[in-house]
Amino acid sequence: MASRLMHLYVGKLLAEKLDIKDKNRFLCGILLPDAYLSGDKADYNTHYVHLSNNHKTMDFGRFYSEYKEKILTDELYLGYYLHLVQDCAYRQFIYYALDLLKLRGNPDFLDKLYADFHSLNAYIYGKSGKFGLTVPENFEKEEINKLCPFQLEEFFAKLENDYLDTPASEHNYISPKICEEYFTRCLKSCIEEYEGIKSEKTPDAWKYCWKNQPTV
């Protein structure tokens, strides 16, 4: 998955491109699939992960079929939808554009990747500053909470720690320059998928699928 600040930065660019009215609600939706801090991922499939024929995707098409009307009218649900698109674009980028699929299962792969995330947090914070999000009013009554007991307020506290990260002099896989390339590609994918649903085109998450290699 992309990091919190990576999601938010692309979300900020999307809010500008798509002329989003309630940017706080939209960016909360952008974070929402990750906003649970307890429980088993198997119990809360907030990313709509789907496995078929030894390939995986984040099935944002199924999310769309379940929440179509809200996605088209409510920034919170549109943000959630575009988070799933972002994660698909991210997997395509690191696994295929960067050719890192072969490293899945290596003991230190995620450690090195997350070290890059911490350094990139400082880079993104330098570009955007704090996002200053607040929990939407009456969030506890939102229909989306049927999927999972989301914990936005607690998640925002974790987000504050991201602003404290410091840049590294070297990167393992994702440098700021490479991160900018990801932002460009991810933004393109999100806008394409947004324009697709606005024109009533049925979304297809499988075009972003990746090979499900077993870990070792």
Q: State the pLDDT at residue 214.
A: 53
User: Buried (b) or exposed (e) across 99-115, using 16+ Cβ within 10 A?
Assistant: ebeebbeeeebeeebeb
Helix axes 109-128, 4-17, angle to 10 degrees: 40
pLDDT of residue 41: 58
Three-state secondary structure call for residue 52: strand
CB atoms within 10 A of CB 164: 10
Query: So what's the pLDDT on residue 69?
Result: 96
Instruction: For the chain of 216 residues, list the mean pLDDT of each consecutive stretch of 10.
Output: 94 97 98 82 85 95 97 98 98 96 90 96 96 96 94 93 95 97 98 97 96 65
Give the pLDDT of residue 52: 94
Q: What is the pLDDT of residue 215?
A: 47
Specify the pLDDT at position 213.
72
- So what's the pLDDT on residue 216? 36
The pTM score is 0.95
Query: CB of 50 within 8 A of CB of 166?
Result: no
Structural contact between residues 147 and 199, judged by C-beta atoms closer than 8 angstroms: no
Q: Residue 42: what pLDDT?
A: 61
